[in-house]
Amino acid sequence: MNLQDSFANPEFLWLLTLLPLLAGWYLLKNKKAKVTLKMPTTIGFTGHFYTRANHFLFVLRTLALAALIVGLARPQNTSETTKTETTKGIDIVMAIDVSSSMLAKDLSPNRLVALKEVATDFINDRPNDRIGLVVYAGESYTKTPITSDKRLVLQALKEIQYGALTDGTAIGMGLATSVNRLKDSEALSKVIILLTDGVNNSGFIEPATAAELAVEYQIKTYTIGLGTNGNALSPVAYNPDGSFRYGLAEVQIDEALLKEVSAATGGKYFRATDNQKLAQIYEEINSLEKTEVETFKFYAYEEKFRPWALAALGLLMLEWLLKNTLFKSFI
């Protein structure tokens, strides 16, 4: 809720500019009316008090007029309340390949880390959607079910590492697990973003079968092939200490399969050959899958003109009272 001071009729405030003119007119009038006479001491005192009293009463009338003008402008406190309603929710599952080839260094510092950085930005840009994570290599599992808790999703994304699953690339398994996460969703739009850097070579569910399931449950699938064209510095063997030995290896992505899956489900296929292209792809998907959000603003007004009106009335009453009591003998 936002609070701010304002005026309902600010045009009346222009009348305040007339007050200096009124004061100037008053001073000019008194200067012309002033007559210098030699008087006895008592009469001189009376004339001096008359002048002071007259000035004081004028000041009271001027202050009353200023307060009345401010009251006419209707000062008020305005409180603004904003309510956001999501009119079209989207449930998204991000299926991430965590096979050993995702450690290839054609993206900086490697494919998996580059993906996690871009995916983090994507998740942060979807505040009104539910997002889940599926990871797959030679098999697949749900890392995070679809949830609106972005902190949970981001923490789970940060924890994704190579080595938790049997090595391999089971695209069909990754897609089928993602479909299973979304099939019972009541969202108006259901989306899978499946990323891989290889060819389906593992798992007991064929990608075509998983794509049919996605079609049956009306789940749109965007597929991303990750890797440079040609050769990439990739893990090719193990060192004696268990770490990977790197060497140049040909990048093989089953683009025909990924295009078929995306086309069958109403999605789109993308190829990411470097960090910049990967970021652009997620930005495009972000723009293609927009959640419709309506924002309603409510305003409450608290009137503040009454104190100004009472001040004006009080000053006028004080001016009248002084004029007809204390200053009556001199005016």
What CATH number corresponds to the domain at position 237?
3.40.50.410
Do 52 and 140 have their domain in common? no
Do 157 and 130 have their domain in common? yes
Do 132 and 215 have their domain in common? yes
Asked whether 222 and 191 are in contact (CB, 8 A), the reply is yes
Q: Looking at residue 295, what is its pLDDT? A: 57
What secondary structure letter does DSSP report for 17? Answer: G
Q: Looking at residue 77, what is its pLDDT? A: 78
Do 303 and 283 have their domain in common? no
Do 158 and 235 have their domain in common? yes
Do 31 and 56 have their domain in common? yes
Q: Looking at residue 327, what is its pLDDT? A: 67
In terms of Cα–Cα distance, which of 76, 83, 54 is closest to 5?
A: 76
Q: Which helix (H) or strand (E) holds 206?
A: none
Do 177 and 29 have their domain in common? no
Tens-digit pLDDT profile for residues 265-313: 999 999 999 999 999 999 999 988 876 655 556 667 677 778 877 887 8
| Mode of pairing for the β-strands spanning 189-196 and 220-226 | parallel
Task: Tell whether 49 is covered by a domain.
Answer: yes
Task: Tell whether 270 is covered by a domain.
Answer: yes
Q: Looking at residue 42, what is its pLDDT? A: 47
User: How far is the C-alpha of 115 from the C-alpha of 16, rounded, in Å?
Assistant: 64
Task: Tell whether 331 is covered by a domain.
Answer: no
In terms of Cα–Cα distance, which of 309, 328, 195 is closest to 262?
A: 195
The one-letter amino acid at 23: A
In terms of Cα–Cα distance, which of 198, 181, 191, 195 is closest to 118?
A: 195
Q: How far is CA 268 from CA 225, 243, 276, in A?
A: 11, 36, 19
Strand order through the sheet with 292-303: 2-7, 75-88, 292-303
Q: Which helix (H) or strand (E) holds 331?
A: none
Low-confidence ranges of the chain (pLDDT < 70): 1-5, 32-54, 82-88, 291-299, 301, 327-331
Task: Tell whether 85 is covered by a domain.
Answer: no
pTM exceeding the 0.75 threshold for the entire prediction: no
Please give the residue range of the domain that contains residue 22: 2-79+298-324
Task: Tell whether 239 is covered by a domain.
Answer: yes
Asked whether 36 and 42 are in contact (CB, 8 A), the reply is no
Find tokens 């009316």 and name the residue: 33
Do 170 and 283 have their domain in common? yes
For 78-143, the DSSP string reads EEEEEEEEEEE-EEEEEEEE-SGGGG-SSSSS-HHHHHHHHHHHHHHT-TTSEEEEEEESSSEEEE
Tens-digit pLDDT profile for residues 45-73: 455 555 666 677 778 778 878 888 887 88
Task: Tell whether 152 is covered by a domain.
Answer: yes
Task: Tell whether 56 is covered by a domain.
Answer: yes
Do 180 and 63 have their domain in common? no
Do 103 and 28 have their domain in common? no
Do 263 and 281 have their domain in common? yes
Do 103 and 184 have their domain in common? yes
The alpha helices in the chain, defined as continuous H runs, are 18-33, 41-72, 111-124, 150-159, 171-182, 207-216, 255-265, 275-288, 305-324
Q: Looking at residue 115, what is its pLDDT? A: 96
Task: Tell whether 251 is covered by a domain.
Answer: yes
At residue 192, φ and ψ (nearest 5 deg) are -115, 135
Q: How many domains does the chain have?
A: 2
